[in-house]
Amino acid sequence: MLFDPQLIARYDTRGPRYTSYPTAAHFHEAFGAEDYAAALAASNDAPIPRDLSLYLHLPFCRDACWYCGCHRSITRRADRARAYLDTLLDEIAMLGERVDRDRLVRQLHLGGGTPTYYSPTALAELLDALARAFSFAPARECEMGIEIDPRSVDPAAARELVALGFDRISLGIQDFDPRVQAAINRRQSISQVRAVVAAVREAGARSVSFDLIYGLPHQTPERFARTLRAVCTLQPDRVSTYAYAHMPERFALQSLMPADALPSPATRLRLLEQCHACFGASGYQALGLDHFVRPEDPLMVAMIDGSVQRNFQGYSTHADCDLIGLGASAISSVGDVYAQNAVALRQWAGMVRESRPPVARGLRLSADDRLRREVIQALMCRGRVEVAAVEAAHGCDFWAVFADAVPALRRMGADGLLAMDAAGLELTPTGRLLMRNVAMAFDAYAGAEPEARYSRVI
Ligand code: SF4
């Protein structure tokens, strides 16, 4: 059996999800706008400047989902949303001036919040501003993604979004069960989702992704099985199955959910096992920590050829691009720096008004950070670390650098999580489920943060 509950109970600690290394918890305020501006300038001057991936954060939502841990703002005030859009247009123009025009945008993703809080007309305005500020690769060579809330988009609007150029559509599903939906304050029917999926497919979208969450109140194997069956009938190209992280001390609205209805660790495991069984039987392949994709999907192709990456949006192609984040709280990854925009809307807007990159914190990676980032990326994306490749890229003696990690790795090897020899290590199917634990062995910062900051591994 893939999942041994006793083994997994031993490893069910808290830890980072490694959407970056070092994690955002280690960004600091000594890194600011001028440091980011210098990193952008240096990236233009690289011998072969990297192409670009753009992420735009649109933070507004009409209603609060109680499980949510995103940077979002709940409002029905159109003037607030309009003011944010105007500031974002200014930020786009300002950042565009700092990036050479021969660097092509290969990937664009709109996330939030709820990007479809805005009408297709407003989003068209955003795309026009982006096209003025940056050079985009030809349409077939540029992925254009947007997160759609099926509660706020009807089929006609969904078709309009595809006509605007968005060809990778991501829908937040979480769970179709009415009792679970009531407990998390997010009600959306299967028929609403089916109508949006049909509309974007008819309009020519290249990819449809669903996000599910396991570990929510009232989820049981029987109810969750119905959700998984419904998901499979809608045939998304990708499914992400996120573990719900219950941290009401950080996200106050989570305390509105019935804590006594949260599934036990054993049930959470069972729900995850159901995901593997159901999606495996439906022809999907497991990718990394929490994704299931069709074998022909570009993400699976990228995993095989080594170009898949783990970043703030989960797993993504285009590991070779610099990521420019725009909007409040957005995170950029340019060369060897991470830079996070101010989270508070007022602070972010104030910095944009002063024509400064609205960066509030960040980090310049050391040589040791870069080495460990590559090892952790290899584990999280490919489930394998090749010592010779790491040594060649970083000019180091791998086993000397990671001597402290060896006892923990040996223990995990004895527990069946990985196979290890002098040439490298590879996760087993059980180890893939616990890859965050294995990655922690390579994390120089592990233990430097209060554990409560992170979610449970299972
Ligand atoms: S889950 Fe999405 S729609 Fe719900 S509150 Fe969070 S950002 Fe908004």
Residues 6+ apart with CB under 8 A from 401: 368, 371
Q: Give the mean pLDDT of the chain.
A: 93
Extract the tokens encoding 132: 């003025």
Each residue of 70-97: pLDDT tens digit? 999 999 999 999 999 999 999 999 999 9
Task: Specify the residue with its C-alpha closest to ligand 1, atom 4.
Answer: 65
- Cα 95 to Cα 32, 98, 101, 113, 345, distances in angstroms: 15, 5, 12, 22, 18
pLDDT value, residue 12:
83
Query: Does residue 8 register a pLDDT over 80?
Result: no
Residue 1 has pLDDT above 60, yes or no: no
Q: What pLDDT, on the 0 to 100 scale, is given for residue 13?
A: 83
Checking if the pLDDT of 199 tops 60, the result is yes
| Distance between Cα 63 and ligand 1 center (Å) | 8
Measuring CA to CA, how many Å separate 447 from each of 245, 351, 378, 440?
19, 34, 22, 9
Dist CA 183 CA 217 (whole Å): 6
Pairwise pLDDT comparison (289 vs 197), residue with the higher score: 197
Contact between residue 53 and residue 332 where contact means Cβ atoms under 8 Å apart:
no
Q: Which among 217, 231, 151 has a CA at the least distance from the CA of 179?
A: 217
Q: Where are the strands (E) in 129-245, listed by range?
A: 135-136, 143-148, 168-174, 207-214, 238-243
pLDDT at residue 449 in the model: 66
- Say if CB 339 and CB 30 are below 8 A apart: no
CA of 186 to the centre of ligand 1 (A): 9
Q: Please give the helix or strand (H or E) that residue 53 lies within, else none.
A: strand 52-58
| Cβ-based neighbour number of residue 178 at 10 Å | 12
Phi, psi (5° rounding) for residue 61? -135, 150
CA-64 nearest atom, ligand 1: 5
Residue 68 Cα: closest atom of ligand 1? 6
**Residue 425 scores a pLDDT above 80:** yes
Calculate the CA dihedral of residues 19, 165, 152, 246 and round it to 10 degrees.
-10
Mean per-residue pLDDT, 100-119: 96
DSSP label at 308? -
pLDDT of residue 18: 92
Q: Decide whether any atom of ligand 1 lies within 6 Å of the 239 Cβ.
A: no
Burial 26-57 (b: 16+ CB within 10 A, else e): bbeeebbbebbbebbeebeeeeebbbbbbbbb
* Lookup result for tokens 């945008």: 105
| CA 414 to centroid of ligand 1, rounded, Å | 41
Q: 2 pLDDT band (50/70/90 cuts)?
A: low
The answer to whether the beta carbons of residues 277 and 87 sit under 8 Å apart is: no
Q: What is the pLDDT of residues 330-368, one digit of tens each?
A: 999 999 999 999 999 999 999 999 999 999 999 999 999
315: nearest Cα among 242, 264, 255, 247? 242
User: Model confidence at 451, in pLDDT bands (50, 70, 90)?
Assistant: low
Does 383 sit in the ligand 1 pocket, CB within 6 Å?
no
Amino acid in the structure at residue 101: R
Element containing residue 222 per DSSP (H, E): helix 221-234
**Would you state the pLDDT for residue 3?**
63
Per 3-state DSSP, what percentage of the chain is helix, strand, and coil (rounded to 5)?
45, 20, 35
Pocket test for ligand 1, best of 58, 74, 114 (most atoms within 8 A of CB): 114
**Separation of 171 CA from ligand 1 center, angstroms?**
11
User: CA distances (Å), 414 to each of 399, 417, 434, in order?
Assistant: 19, 8, 14
User: What percent of the chain has pLDDT above 70?
Assistant: 98
Per-residue pLDDT reduced to its tens digit, 134-157: 999 999 899 999 999 999 899 999
The span from the CA of 130 to the CA of 128, in Å, is 5
Q: Which two tokens stand for residue 188?
A: 């959306």
301 pLDDT more than 80: yes
SS3 293: strand
Q: Which amino acid is at 242?
A: Y
The predicted pLDDT at position 224 comes to 98
Instruction: Kindly report the pTM of this predicted structure.
Output: 0.94
Residue 19: half-sphere exposure toward Cβ, Cα within 13 Å: 12
